[in-house]
Each structure stands twice: as C-alpha cells, then as structure tokens.
Amino acid sequence: MGLLISFLILCSLVLWTNADDVKRVLVFGGNGLIGAASVNKMLEYGHDLTLVTRGNWYWDTDDNIKPRVKHLKCDRMKSLKDCWSAEQYDFYDAIVDFSGFDPYMIKDTLKLLQGEEVLVEQRKQGGMPYFFIRLPDVIGSRDNTYRWWIYQAWLRLSPYLETKIAIPKNLIDFPMSFVYVEDVANIVLQSLNYDQDLLDEAYNFAFDETPTLPEVLEIMKKYMEKLDIDIPVTDDEDVLHLFPSVTRGPICCDKAKHKLGFKPTSFEQAAKETVEFYEQAMLSNKFERERLSVIQTLETFSPNNPGNVYIGLRKEYGLDIKSREEL
C-alpha cells in the first residue's frame, strides 16, 4: 500500500475576490470518513455545496448531510459528462475531490467543469490553482474501514472471543503516523480562503505524536477503562493487526505548520473522542448497519462458537441482539 492518502482541492480565481463570501463548492465524494467531516464543517460555515456521489449514504449522512446539499448521482469510473445534463452545469468557487485517486478522474473533472476553452485560457495564466492534501492513517468517527472500532470492540469482548489481540514483534517499537479527521476537515474549510501564495502546493498533515501499536492500544484501553486486558507480543509477523495500513514510517508536516499554521489536535485527545464515539455507536440503532458489519467481523474471531460474541454484547454493552442461530 502507498504511503499516503491524497485528495485534491481545485480553486478557481474567484476565491480571492472576497475571503468572507459564501463559497459555491462542488464536492466529489463527501459521504465517507474524511468527506463527511469536511462537508459538515463547510456547511457549518454556510457554504453552498453540491455533492457528486454514487448515491450511497453512509452512517448518518442520509439525515445530516443529504437534506442540506444539492446531490448529483454519478459513478466516477464513468465519464462525468454522462452523469448530468448541460442544464445542470454551474459555476463553482472550488472543487473538493475526495474520490479522484485516478489521473483519469481528475482530467475528466476539469474537462467537464471548466470546458476546454476556459481551461486552456486558465492554463495560459498559470493553470487552475490546486491544494493537494496528503494523509497517513485517518482516525475519528464514521470510519468506513471500521479499523478503530473493530479494535475497540475486540478489546471489550476479548474474554468472549477465541482469537485474542496480539502485537507482531516487528511493530513493538514501530512509530506510526495518524491524523485526526476533524483536523483534516478544518484544513479543507480553511483552504477555501487561503491566499494564492499558499496554493499550488502539496502538504502533509499528521499528529505530532507517532505512537506505536502497543501505545495506541494502551490509550484505547485507558479510555475504555479496560486496563486489565493483556495484549501479548508474538513472533508471527502475519498475525492479524489493523494498524498501520502503511509501513514506511512517520511523515513530516513541518511545511504545513510553517506555511499554514497547522496545529494538530493531540493524539490523546483525538483517541479519547474517537473511543467515546464508537462506544456510543455500538449502543445506537442509528448505526445499526455499521454495527452489524463490526459484529460480523467479531464473529470471525470466535469461529467455533460465534454465539459468544452475542453473550459478550449482552454482558458488556447491555445489547440484546440475537445471533443468526437464534433468529
């Protein structure tokens, strides 16, 4: 896997007319972990958003985001010009692309939204300004990978599961980079008003801290009040572990601090807030679909007796959820 998650913000020259104006922003994606947090932040500050998605609404975005934005349904792997008619074209102050990880997608976006003649003219003037965001593993609420939530539930239900959490020996002292989703959302919001001399750059964003996997799990245990759970170290480097998803070590975000004044949340505070969210999410019927995905993963940790997962859910969370065998 590559070192960083990257996404692109393209800014039209309109951005520098008045930094306090409401911006019209076209967002590709915007319903996942980073996208939902960023969209909520932009909406909080009154910006006018149009979201382009395949029509999937994860977590509570169907209630919290969908009614507050204009929505255009589109599959990014197909040509954008097939997604909506010419009457739906509009002018935007910025394009925030959370889903364009393929060069084809970005080129297609520019062709559709700017038109060939406008794009050529802008390129003569230096091209459309961009702001490229590079991220390590992202933590926070509403993560569709469920990695943090799985670890958290795995810890809480550990006494009921056959497969125990273990740390590969090679990761005992391996420093990891993370970034908090709320910090990313703030950067996306601020980028809409950055001066021109801060654009046309790529920036890394991460916590100051570079915790090891044992340290991450200890912090989880601390805020779950489960410090008595023992997590052994194993020589088996292939043992299941969910962090890190990248293996090239920590990243440097000095450039973002120096040029943008980036001040990351402390890892401890972000971890505390993330633990609190997923503890509540396990109890909330609002996240029933996401909870089911986590529970199904936990069942694989008790293959000989998956019913133990549901015993654990009753005893640890007070959840009376029936297993498939009980239905």
pLDDT digits (tens, 9 = 90+) for 90-142: 678 888 888 644 444 434 444 444 443 443 455 456 667 778 888 899 999 99
**Nearest CA-CA partner of 17 in 119, 94, 70:** 94
pLDDT digits (tens, 9 = 90+) for 270-314: 999 999 999 999 999 999 999 999 999 999 999 999 999 999 999
**Structure confidence at residue 268 (pLDDT):** 98
87 — pLDDT class (breaks 50, 70, 90): very low
Domains, in order of start, for the chain: 5-135+182-204 (3.40.50.720), 139-178+208-247+266-317 (3.90.25)
Lowest mean per-residue pLDDT among 62-76, 93-107, 145-159, 240-254:
93-107
**Structure confidence at residue 282 (pLDDT):** 97
**Structure confidence at residue 167 (pLDDT):** 97
Mean of the per-residue pLDDT values of the chain: 84
pLDDT, mean of residues 50-79: 86
Query: How many percent of the chain have pLDDT more than 70?
Result: 78
Task: Please say whether the beta carbons of 166 and 231 come within 8 A.
Answer: yes
**Structure confidence at residue 236 (pLDDT):** 92
pLDDT digits (tens, 9 = 90+) for 23-56: 999 998 888 899 999 999 999 999 999 998 888 8
pLDDT digits (tens, 9 = 90+) for 227-285: 999 999 999 988 999 999 876 778 999 999 999 999 999 999 999 999 999 999 999 99
